[in-house]
Every structure is written in structure tokens, then in C-alpha cells.
Chain A
Amino acid sequence: MEHDIDTGPLSWRPPATAAAGTHPFRLVTRREVLAGAVAGSAFAVALPLGLSRKAHADSTAGGLANVRGGDATPGLFIAIAPDGAVNITSHRSEMGQQVWTSIAQIIAEELVADWERVNVVQAIGHPRYGDQNTDGSRSIRRNLTRLRYAGAGMQHMLRAAAAARWDVDVAECVAANHEVSHPASGRKAGYGELAAEAARLPVPGEADITLTPRAKWRYIGKPVPSVTVPKIVRGQGTFGIDVQLPDMAVAVIARPPQLFGSVREVDDSAALKVPGVIRTVTLPALEAPASFKPLGGVAVIAEDTWSAIRGRQALKVDWDTGPNGDYDSAQYRETLLETARAPGQVRMDRGDVDAALEDADKHISADYYAPHLAQSPMEPPAATARWTGDTVECWACVQAPQSARGTVAGVCGIEPDAVTINVTWLGGGFGRKSKPDFVAEAALLAREVGRPVKVTWTREDDLQHGYLHSVSAQHLEGALDNDGKCTAFLHRTVFPPIPSTFQAGAEDPSWGELRLGASDNPFAVPNFRLETGAAPAKVRIGWLRSVANVYHAFAVQSFAAELAAAAKRDPKDFLLELIGPPRLIDPNDEGAEYDNYGDSLDEYPIDTARLANVVRVVADKAKWGRRLPDGHGLGIAVHRSFLSYVATVIEVAVDDSGTLSIPGVWSVIDAGTVVNTRHVKAQVEGGTLYGLSNALYGQLTAKDGAIEQSNFPQWRVMRISEAPRSVDVTIVDSDAPPGGVGEPPTPPAAPALTNAIYAATGQRIRELPLFGMVGNKLATGEGRS
């Protein structure tokens, strides 16, 4: 069978002359960088941050402190050693999206550096870097321009140093392949040789800098291989759980089974008898709002992880269930669906939906339900803390190190400046690791125990005490006229909102969640209404890869196909008709509070031409309309999120027994300008399959307030035999500003899948997941809603 992954790896070689095939990348410790700086011959990167404790106090801050996207002062991101090694600091967390590689590409491009002499190091969490929260698919879209200026600024300083040395005009000095030359006189000097002199020069301003034109890019937009993979395949690199400090103890925590539950009584006598167990610590009970604070419970401190786990097994804790002991997700599902079926709070209203539904030739309605999900990164949360006097240093797999810093400071009652957050590699994040509760646990315990402590979450902890992707119920109604045109579209969405985690009692879906696939509805329908219903949160609600887009796209894109079926039209043609003519949409004009993922609608409009284009391209790639074998079906879905457009076609095969397989997936992304085509494709493959895995298998349920699933396989994740054999990804060639990449592939996956199942079998699936703990066999007949 063809394995259709066009990774484009062989088409790219480092353009520099250095020998390819070696992998010079390594995780340079901050100490090594620091040593170079002390020697007086490298730019001091990150060094002033820990010492000065004052943002913007660095004397090198100059003409690039306020470029688009933030501070592009070269020394923040680039250190050049005397031997010419370029150490680039990634201020974004590496969690598989290959941000180390893309940041290095951007800087190396403008620095005109030799790729073989570039190393990447990880930044600590510090406000000086600007936003470091590695979620929202924003590393590239918010930093591309800024990092180009940082690289170009450094390049300018190196040329200026050479010009001063040779007493010539800087404009006559040329940077190429890691050296500066003066063609008129034939003089040359390497970057390492010039670094110390360049470091003493002022940072140029934006006006002094000419960025490399797109046509001349050598690194940006190319399928540059990952700088982390050579380490990964050798078991190298440090994840959060891998941190080891001298004299370190390990903690495993028994947390209250229910949110806001608490410890009534502990009997730790058996736990303390387990060899290796040092002591137990009862943590303070959590008070609302949950925010990023630790959940409380009883920690078992031991000399090693296994002893801590065994010690926890031996603990006897009498829990007070608190206010959420009544949570039963099966019952809650009924309540959510009832709310969704009744008129809700009107959030957007265009035309007269009720009249249009009344006048319809066909009026259809459908209810959709999707359960709680866990992000479940393969590396469960883990953090290590070490106190020195009144300051604490932490090492953790966090997406948001500044948030971790503030949380640790708040929970420990110290100033943020007394907290250092070292960011390790992340064994997956998917939103879980932007919530730093586990780092605060480590800090509290290390202070209490008086030695460094690593807190390890087991898989059970990860599933039972997480920040859950919201359960949701949605009710949709649509009107078709005599010509089969959609004249009205009602979307009612009900889910416990993320704000409930940060503000006790918040029950109404927020605009911040509605903007994710509901208030930005792109359909050219004359009558449209968006309504919401309230839902109290009974667990911590958090974000998961692409957040509310997941369930909103599932309902909206499923319903589009249901309308097409009712109109007896081809789903792809009908979808294009719903999207309508090329135009720019502003939901604010229709009563929404719409922030467009924090970027301007002028620069990143909701552009129906781009939305329709990815539909057409993916239909073409999948050969939409072709003859299919018996039992096969094609489904299509499209969604704009995080400022990018993704359309997906899925081919399913359902055999006589009802067993489902997925022979093919085609996905097209228009993310504007992309930095690394190889890794954008990888993100589209992985993001699509993440959505499929959740739709097929993902489900957390609760009984008496506690999550019922404890580990794999009760929490089921797609395995290789269940994965599509072929995943074909196309990147739309575009010079539009960069959009997000990590999240946009996920939302169209579920509706493309269920639309394909409908095409293959006539069975409409409106409730996720499709399958339980085992098997891939569809329920037959009317078994499902």
C-alpha cells in the first residue's frame, strides 16, 4: 500500500557549504552560555534576566525593543561564542511542534548564519520575552516579524563591528554564510571573531534594517529537519519528568476525588512503613475559584518514584466530597440536552430565524453531544522545585512559564522575582501544561520538606484530576426553501464554560469560547441566530487543542451535511453554497464580541474566499465524487480557527459486520506564510488524528463527582492499527500573514469522519465518541441518537 506522506525531507539541504549529515544541535545549558558571556566574548543572552530582576533594565535594550510582536533586542535571543557557535534562545516551549527549529530558522535566516553552527537553548520564564504562553497556535504568528528583526539586528551589529575594525562604511560590508566581508578590499571576518566587538555596539533601529525579501529566503518556508529529533532517537533531551537534582525526593499526591473535596482524616501509618517513604504532607484544601492552584490532598514523599506510588497506595484518607459529590455525567448529559432544546439566551441575531423556519419547505433539527476529554499528553505533568533561602527554582514541562512563575509566587506567598522557572522539553502539551498547578505543588512540597522535590503525576492522576475539555450539547435547526437553499440557521450551544475555573459560579458560555466556531459562523444565510444556555461546572474546565472549536465544528459541519442530505444535494457543493460568495465577515457587526484570536480583522479577516478555496482544493486532492468500493464513503468538513483555514476529507470503509476503518485522509491548510513546510505537514497529520482519536474513543465520565476512567485503555487513544493508512496534506501557497498551525487541523476531523460514515452507511452520528473501550464496530440500526 502507498504511504502517502509527502514530507519533502530530501528536497532540502543546508544551503551553507558545511558538510551535511551531522547534527550539531544540543541543549546548551544556561551555565555554558553564561560561561561564554563571562569570558567577555559572547553576547549575554538571558544572563541579565536572572540577575537584574528588572525587565527592560538591560543596557543592550535599544532600537528594537518595540517592534511588531514585542522586544526584538538581539541579545535576548542570540549569543555568539568566539568559535562562531550561534546559540539561539527559544522563548516558546518545545512540545513537538518543532518551535526550536522554526525559531532557529527565522533567526538564522536574517542573521545569514550557517545552519550547521546554530544551537538552540530554552529560555526561562520572564516577562522580558513578552508572551511565552505556548498555546493558542501563536508562536509563529506573533513572533515571525519580531524574530526576523532580532536576527537582522544582530547581523547589522556584526557588520558594524567589521566596518569599525576596517574603518569602512557599514553599507560596504556584506554578511554571508557566517562571516562579514568587505568586497572592495577583500577583507573577511567570521562572526565569532566579531562577536565581542559587536556586543559593545548600540542596537540598530528598525529603520537601519532591511529584512531579507521573501524571494531570497533560504531557511524560512523550507522543510528544514528538526533540531530535536536526533536527540530524541537516542533517548537524550530532558523532559519535565526526567529532571534529577542532588538530594532530590519524589512526591506522588493523593488528591481529593471531587473538585473542592478535602481531607477529613489521614492515616499514613501503613504508608510510612513502605521502604523509601520519607514522610507525608497534607496540602491545603483548594478554595474556589480553582484557577491554577493545587487541588490539595496528601503527598507521599519518598526517595524514588516507585516508593512514593506504593506509599500512596497504602494511605488511608477519609475524604470530604465537598460541593461536587453529586456530579453524575450521565444525568448531566440529560440536563445539558434539555437546556439545549429549550430557547436560550440570544447572543447573535440576523434576520428573522423564527419566521424563516415557519415558512420553510423543509425544517430540520438535530442535537449533538460531545463528552469531556482529557488532553492526556504522553508525559504526565511533572515538576521539580528547589529552595535556596526565600527563593525557589523550578524545572517543569510548562507551556506558560510566566504563568507558572506567577502561580508559584501566589501560592507560596512570595514575589515573582523570587521564582525561576526553567522550561524543560514537554512530552506533549495540548493545553494541559499551560495550567501550572503541578509546579505550585512541587514548590510547596520542596519548601515543606526542606530538600528538592519532584512531583510526578501518574496517568491516573492526569485523567482523574485534570482540566477537562468541556462536555457540550448543541441544538441546531435549519430551514430549506423550495430550491433547497438554506434560509435559516439556528445554533444553540450549551457547555460549562472555561471561565468557571477562574470565577466561581460562571455558567454562561463566554464570548471567548463562542468565537471558537460559533460567533464566527461563515455561512451566507439570511437568517441566523446564536443562542447559549447556562451549565454549572462540576470539574475544572480547561482548554484542549483547539478548545471549543472541536465541538462547535462537529455540530456545525455535521449539520451542514444534514442540510445537504435533506436538500438532496452533494455535501461539498452544498457546503460551498453555504459559505457563499467571497466576502469578509465581521461578527462584531452582528452583536458578537469577537476578538479574532487577539489579532486585527484588517490583517486577518474572516475571508470566505480562503475558506471556500481549501474546500475546493481538498475535494480535488481526494478526488471527490469518484466511484467508491461498497461500504466506503467520503465526508468533508471545513473550519477556520486560529486565523488559519483547514478542510478535511475522510474516506471510511465499513464492512458487513459494521467494523470501521479509515483508508484515507486528505487535509488542506491555508495558514498564510509558513516557516517550516515539513513540520506544518506533521502538525496537520497529528492534529487531524488527535481529533479523530478523540471522536472515535475519547470520553471521560463522572460518578459521584469522581472521574471513572483511571488509565489506558479505559481512556482510549488511537493506536497504529486504527490510524489512517494514508494522510495526505497540502499546504496552500500563500504570502498572507502567518496563521496558527498546531490547532486548526483538529476541528474538521470529527465532522469529516461522521459525514463519511453517513455517506457510507446512511447512519448519522450525533454523539461522540463512536466507540467504547474495545473494537471499532458501529452500533447498528437506531441505536444511537
Chain B
Amino acid sequence: MSTKISVNGRMHELDVDPAMPLLWVLRDRLGFTGTKFGCGVAQCGACTVHIDGKPTRSCVTPVGSVANAEVVTVEAVSGPEADAVRAAWEGIDVPQCGYCQSGQVMSAVALLRDVPDPDDAAIDRAMDGNLCRCATYARIRRGIHDAAATLKSKR
């Protein structure tokens, strides 16, 4: 069965079961391995991508359900918020092993697009679905505040 999806601005036509989770289409079929597998049940956030701009757990999203949507992964997420998050993450070395961090970056970018200067409660709400076993949480929080400050200074 042929399924069409748009990933990072490019259309792909795939012979794939529409029930296959987007995560495995991205990783196994399209080679976008930046999006990670951590649990398969939407509990860890490592697989977070943007679907029409919304942070979404790709491990429980059937590829057939995003046929008319725009999927963006960590490899290609762009714009002022993405730049600010990447710069902040590099500025204080937020990641340790980095495995969960593509999901953290995607959630943080989506948060900042929604709430340009989030307080700690907003950070908790937006980031609570992204587990980090290295427990880089203090730096994630600081990284988001740093990115927000950068965005503010550029407005």
C-alpha cells in the first residue's frame, strides 16, 4: 500500500503499512535516526517530532494518520527558536549521552514557539513527558531559560 508523507519539507512515497508507527518509518525506512526509540508507548518522549508544528510522540503515531501533515525531525527543525535552543544546549552542554536529547530539543522548541518566556511551571508541563536517565534536568531548565533570553534580546 502506498503512503505519502512529507518529512522535513520533502515528500516521500512509501510502500508501507499505514499502521506502522511514524517512528519506525522515519528510522528504518527513511534513515532519520535522530528520532529515537525509548519505550514505544509514548512514555519517554525520545521519539518526539513536530507534526504540523505540534510536538508529537512518533512511536504511537500511525504513519497513515500523518499523510496530509508536515513532519519535522530534529535533523531539520529550524527557525529562531530552534537556533536559540541549539545554542543554549551547546552553551552549557545540556546533553550527556544525548540519546533523549533530540526529543528534549523538539519539545523545547515547540514550547518556546508557544510560550516565548516560559516560567518553571510551564517548563514542567511542556517537558514532563521527556525522560532523561542521565538526569540533565537542571540544565534543560536552564537551557530553556537561556534560549528564551536569547529570543527576547533579538526581538
Contacts and interface: CB of A to CB of B under 8 A. Distances in A.
Q: How large is the interface on B (under 10, 10 to 19, 20 to 34, 35 or more residues)?
A: 35 or more
A720 B137 CA distance: 5
A721 B124 contact: yes
A304 B99 contact: no
B133 A428 contact: yes
Given A9-B93, A242-B33, A720-B127, A306 B139 contact: no
A659 interface: no
B133 A376 contact: yes
Given A241-B36, A378-B38, A719-B128, A228 B98 contact: yes
Contacts of B136: 682, 685-686
Given A719-B128, A720-B128, A427 B92 contact: no
A380 B92 CA distance: 26
Given A5-B139, A235-B102, A226 B145 contact: no
Nearest to A692: B135
Interface stretch (A91-99, A162-170, A499-507, A567-575): A91-99
A275 B92 contact: no
A679 interface: yes
Given A9-B92, A228-B98, A305 B134 contact: no
Contact of B95 (A3, A232, A380): A232
Given A428-B133, A686-B134, A719-B131, A711 B139 contact: no
A719 B133 CA distance: 9
Contacts, number: 202
A233 interface: yes
A685 B27 CA distance: 31
Contacts of B74: 233-235
Given A3-B145, A233-B89, A241-B36, A690 B94 contact: no
Interface string A556-570: 000000000000000
A425 interface: yes
Nearest to A712: B43
A430 B138 CA distance: 20
B142 A244 contact: no
A712 B131 contact: yes
B75 interface: yes
B28 interface: yes
B17 to A, nearest CB: 6
A304 B120 contact: no
B105 interface: yes
B110 interface: no
B71 interface: no
Contact of A305 (B37, B46, B100): B37
Given A459-B38, A682-B93, A427 B98 contact: yes
Contacts of A693: 133, 135
A305 B34 contact: no
A378 B75 contact: no
B24 A305 contact: yes
A140 B97 CA distance: 18
Contacts of B140: 720
A678 B36 CA distance: 26
Contact of B28 (A236, A305, A429): A305
A652 interface: no
Interface in B11-68: 17, 20-21, 24, 27-29, 31-41, 43-44, 46
A579 interface: no
A3 B136 CA distance: 13
Contact of A236 (B34, B43, B145): B34
A225 B93 CA distance: 7
Contacts of B96: 96-98, 682-683, 686
A742 to B, nearest CB: 10
B113 interface: no
B141 interface: yes
A712 B102 CA distance: 19
Contacts of A427: 36, 97-100
Contacts of B32: 235
Main secondary structure of the interface of B (DSSP, over half): loop
A690 B133 contact: yes
A27 interface: no
A22 B150 CA distance: 19
A9 B46 CA distance: 26
Interface string A1-36: 101010101100000000000010000000000000
Contact of A690 (B43, B86, B101, B135): B135
B36 A275 contact: no
Given A244-B31, A712-B43, A96 B139 contact: no
Contact of B39 (A95, A275, A276, A459): A459
A428 to B, nearest CB: 5
B132 interface: yes
Most buried by A among B86, B97, B125, B136: B97
Contacts of B97: 95-96, 377-379, 425-429
Contacts of A244: 31, 33
A174 interface: no
Contacts of B141: 3, 720, 725
A221 interface: no
Given A5-B92, A7-B93, A379-B36, A430 B137 contact: no
A239 interface: yes
B44 to A, nearest CB: 6
Contact of A725 (B17, B91, B120, B135): B120
Interface string A718-733: 1111011111000000
Nearest to A10: B91
B135 A96 contact: no
B112 interface: no
Most buried by B among A95, A380, A720: A720
A428 B132 CA distance: 10
Nearest to A724: B138
B128 A378 contact: no
A239 B124 CA distance: 28
B128 A225 contact: no
A437 B105 CA distance: 32
A717 B92 contact: no
B76 to A, nearest CB: 8
A390 to B, nearest CB: 29
B75 to A, nearest CB: 4
Contacts of B20: 304, 306
Nearest to A430: B133
Nearest to A721: B124
Contacts of B129: 719
Interface in A343-386: 376-380
Contacts of A7: 92-93, 139, 142
Interface in A534-565: none
A605 interface: no
A251 to B, nearest CB: 13
Nearest to B121: A721
A458 B21 CA distance: 15
A88 to B, nearest CB: 19
A228 B101 CA distance: 12
A190 interface: no
Contacts of B39: 459, 711-712
Nearest to B39: A459
8 contacts: A96-B97, A229-B90, A229-B98, A378-B97, A378-B134, A459-B44, A685-B139, A719-B128
Q: Report the 4 A-B pairs with minimum CB-CB distance, sorted nearest first.
A: A235-B34, A427-B99, A96-B97, A96-B96
Given A241-B37, A429-B97, A719-B131, 16 more contacts: A3-B138, A7-B93, A9-B92, A225-B93, A226-B93, A232-B95, A238-B33, A241-B33, A244-B31, A304-B29, A378-B131, A428-B134, A458-B40, A459-B44, A678-B93, A718-B137
